[in-house]
Amino acid sequence: MTLPGPDQFAAETGRFRRELLAHCYRMVGSAHDAEDLVQETYLRAWRAYAGFEGRSSVRSWLYRIATNVCLTAVRPRPMRVLPSGLAGPGRVAESQAADGDVRWLEPLPDAWICDDDPAAVVIGRESLRLALIAGLQHLPARQRAILLLREVLAFSAAETAEILGTTTAAVKSGLQRARARLSEVDPRPEDLLEPTDPRARALLDGYLAAFERSDANLLEHVLRTDATLEATPFREWQAGRADCIALLETQVMGAPGDWRLIATTANGQSAAVVYHRGRADGVVVLAATAAGVSSVVKFHDPALVAAFGFPETSG
């Protein structure tokens, strides 16, 4: 009897890597953690591959491994959040760095999961939107897994029960509770424009121009009146266009030329990598709607610029 080799394993499992990365990201809210968890998933799958007897599809077998790897990973850790998940909005004031025990949500570069492969459709851009990912982190981990397996990945209740090692009845009740909890933390999901939509690109261009020219007035044409502004690693965040613009103008924008922003996409949304005085500074993600930008989330982390495939300096 010939044992399966690496080439056969790669042929059978490799095509699922991108969608497994998206799944792990939805579970844990961190792109880098998701990468590590996918690596662990494939390591475990390789070790068990010789005993895989095809009682389920390769895809559902991999999801069983990946989901349980994620459940083990999140069990001892506090959930990842955005500032808006900690407390209500504050007035314009000096922002203070959050305590070190807060674990922040991270953006996901679209390039990590999307290419010309038709199978990428399985990933589902809408299921990676920042607001949804933030909301998912408020669910107990098993409820989060049930919701994702059933409603994002379209596994049946029986398949989900097999993946999680539970009963169909437990899956159905868990899904009901997960839906109810998610509607509490994200009651009205917004209809966001695709980044390729000319309206979304115009809003992103306006935001980029406002920073690069240090012209806060341009933001009047970009932000909705009810827009929100938040940035990690700061607890304070703003709600309402006037407060958002006041904070940016007085504490952030500086002089013309201080900032350079280069368009990209993250979480299926319009985004930009950010440089401050020529050095990598982080990534900003916009929620673009037909009426304007409803939220701006800035991730202050220079390492993210490289993760999105850009150089450390703006040249």
pLDDT band at 101 (very low <50, low <70, confident <90, very high): confident
Tokens describing residue 76:
């001892």
Q: How far apart are CA 210 and CA 216, in angstroms?
A: 6
User: Is residue 268 pLDDT above 50, yes or no?
Assistant: yes
User: Is residue 217 pLDDT above 80, yes or no?
Assistant: yes
Task: Give the C-alpha distances (Å, rounded to integers) separating 312 from 32, 249, 277.
Answer: 18, 26, 12
For the chain, the first-to-last Cα distance in angstroms comes to: 58
Average pLDDT, stretch 250-254? 92
Task: Spell out a b/e string for 17-39, using b for 16 or more CB atoms within 10 Å of the CB, else e.
Answer: bbbbbbbbbbbbbbbebbeebbe
Q: What is the pLDDT of residue 91?
A: 47
Q: How far apart are CA 222 and CA 130, in angstroms?
A: 19
Q: How far apart are CA 69 and CA 191, in angstroms?
A: 32
**What residue ranges define each of the domains in the chain, with the CATH number in brackets?**
6-185 (1.10.10.10), 198-307 (3.10.450.50)
